[in-house]
Amino acid sequence: MLLFDDYKKIMLDKIKTIYSVQDNDMELGTNFGDFTLKIFKFKDNREEVYSRIKSSMDMEFIDRVELQGNYINFYIKSSKMLDTVENSIGTFGKYPNTFQDTSKALIEHTSSNPTGPIHVGRIRNSIIGDSIFRIIERYGTRSLTQYFVNDSGKQVISLYLGHIKYHKDEEMTVENLLDGYQKIYTNIDSDPDIKREVQELDEKYETGDNELIKEIQNTASIVLKSITDSLAKLGIHISTYVWESNFIMYGNVAQLIDSLSEDLKSEGKAKYIEIGDKKIFLTRQDGTSLYFARDLVYHMFKSENFDWIIDVLGEDHKDHAKNLDYVLHNYLDFPSRIDYLFYGFVSLDTGKMSTRKGNIVTVNDLYEKTVEESAAIIKQKRPEYSKEEVDKISNAIAASSIRYNIIKINANKPLTFRWDEALNFEGDSAPYIMYAYARACSLISKTGNTESSTEEYNEFEKALIKAMYVYPYYLQNSVDFLRADIIAGYILYLVKSFNEFYLNCPIIGNSEENKRMRIVRAFKKIMEDSADLLGIQLLEKI
RNA sequence: GCCCGUGUGGGGUAAUUUGGAUAUCCUGAAGGCCUGCGGAGCCUUAGAUUCGGGUUCAAAUCCCGGCGCGGGCGCCA
């Protein structure tokens, strides 16, 4: 929960004692006042409504109240907004302050099958998950992230078998494993032996051959390591891992199927549950379990320790999630709050991404090219920087840029990856944001820390102060709708306000220096706070 | 075919939940600022709500239909 001087709420509460208005009748103003109240429902006597509301607005933070058409616009004193931000930072080290929630949240994200490098499509999952995790933490809810490692099923068995068949005496490197995996897939249709071997291993695996399960876990963990290395480059660190095989090893899947037995129907030996006119199978004819059953077990497991479960899923999982949710709530008394966050697929401008056709861009490729490109620009713009500085900055730009370009798009929209956009560092981009921060830092390093108690602010100063003050409203919204793109939009708005201020308000040596530096120092803090939510790495020099 | 989602300037994108003022911002195009505290900047101009109906004082937003696009319809995951 966020704690700050919520002027909107204070005004609304007061207005509610006079007239019946809804919370959403008042919103943040854009061009017309700091806050604005819709009074269409009072339009027959709006003059009277206006004058009664106006005279009730006797709070100290009110600058003025105006009637414009069917709206009442409220202007807040900039000095009060700046005080609010500064006091909170001074007292609590952050604006807004938070009240620590007692509940615990678990965000499951990425969970890519450990059968290949992570590409720019899958990374959308990780970036959304990690940003939502950071936002919820910031909001005051204790959270962890979790990667569900899918190490059962034919895909991972093929990875294991590929190594045995094609690279048996070689070291288990990621390259060898992926090569063997590809070979299994290209040969499985023409070679009945391979099909049979996969089948045999699968049955052995499912009946709980713990020796085999462990060997396959080891194999998968090598590819998994390469995935988490890619994530780490973007500043994404998973708190916990859960191996799907553990649920088979410890018999949880069998238990679940037992406990549901009254609700299950059979077709031969295969068991299914009926939802509407659909049959959702939990086990196969041979008794082995299916994804749906294992996912039920996994969710029940998550709910044992967490009050709030968030799953980040590709939109191809929509039906699955709907059915899962239905069974969890109607047959299993699922105790936790659960949210499913879906995201649209990422395609390339050359068409759909396809591992088999080789039409993919891996995160490692993208990262390397972005580092290269930004390093070239830094060398040109700042030839005096050392190699270490160039390295540090270009890595920060690459991680920030990749994250920002993906998170700024509303998750449920499809996204087309384009190299020229990924490598554009102007306008709505991470370097634009990082640069504004560096400018602010440069000013701070050149000025002293002096007091100022001016009440008068020009339009640029006012706009920037307001942009800082409204941060909690954006944060609240992004938590309410579990949307990280709202924060991206906010940061861009904040930075634009700063750049306009910077160009129009000279500071060093100016008579307004002390007043303006108060604003700059607050801006620096809000930037650090908000950029961190998206994993944008701010540097004092860029 | 059926089900779910989506459609905003040349390209991308916000506002759509909760109907409300002049539809945001970026890019690209045309022009401009600046011996400037860091130009990865700032300003100006032109340019958009898929089509048809409906509800409403008011529709990008809600409802119905068409068309386009994405996803799903496995004893795969």
Q: Which of residues 225-244 of A touch strand B (CB under 7 A)?
A: 244
Low-confidence ranges of chain A (pLDDT < 70): none
d(CA A512, CA A286): 80
Q: Which of residues 242-261 of A touch strand B (CB under 7 A)?
A: 244
Q: What is the pLDDT of residue A217?
A: 92
d(CA A169, CA A219): 14
Nearest nucleotide to the CA of A413, by C1', is: B6
Nearest nucleotide to the CA of A506, by C1', is: B37
d(CA A128, CA A407): 6
Asked whether residue A499's C-beta has any atom of DNA/RNA strand B within 7 A, the reply is yes
Nearest nucleotide to the CA of A427, by C1', is: B26
On chain B, which bases lie within 7 A of the protein's CB atoms? 4-6, 12-15, 17-18, 20-22, 25-28, 37-43, 57-58, 69-77
Q: Domains, chain A, ranges and CATH? A: 2-76 (3.30.1360.70), 104-347 (3.40.50.620), 394-533 (1.10.730.10)
The DSSP code for A131 is H
Residue A395: how many CA atoms within 13 Å on its side-chain side? Answer: 11
Q: Report which residue is nearest nucleotide B69 when distances run from CA to C1'.
A: A414
| Tokens encoding A274 | 């009926």
Q: What is the pLDDT of residue A448?
A: 86
The DSSP code for A137 is H
Nearest nucleotide to the CA of A156, by C1', is: B77
| Tokens encoding A234 | 């973007």
Nearest nucleotide to the CA of A286, by C1', is: B75
Q: What is the pLDDT of residue A188?
A: 85
Compute the C-alpha angle A429/A435/A439, nearest 5°.
155
Per-residue HEC secondary structure of A368-380 comes to HHHHHHHHHHHHH
Computed over every residue of chain A, the mean pLDDT equals: 94
Helix, strand, coil % (nearest 5) of chain A?
55, 15, 30
Asked whether residue A112's C-beta has any atom of DNA/RNA strand B within 7 A, the reply is no
Compute the C-alpha angle A369/A179/A350, nearest 5°.
45
Q: How far is the CA of A131 from the C1' of B28 (A)?
A: 31
Residue A393 in 3-state DSSP? helix
The residues that bridge with A266 in the sheet, in sequence order, are A271
Backbone phi and psi for residue A351, each to the nearest 5 degrees, phi listed first: 125, -170
Amino acid letter, A168: K
- Say what the pTM is: 0.96
DSSP string, A191-218: -HHHHHHHHHHHHHHHTT-HHHHHHHHH
Report, in angstroms and rounded to the nearest whole number, the Rg of chain A calculated over CA atoms.
28
Asked whether residue A44's C-beta has any atom of DNA/RNA strand B within 7 A, the reply is no
Q: What is the pLDDT of residue A354?
A: 80
Q: How far is CA A35 from CA A241, A419, A444, in A?
A: 45, 40, 31
The DSSP code for A46 is H
d(CA A393, CA A145): 28
Asked whether residue A413's C-beta has any atom of DNA/RNA strand B within 7 A, the reply is yes
Non-local (6+) Cβ contacts of A50 within 8 A are A39, A65, A67, A72
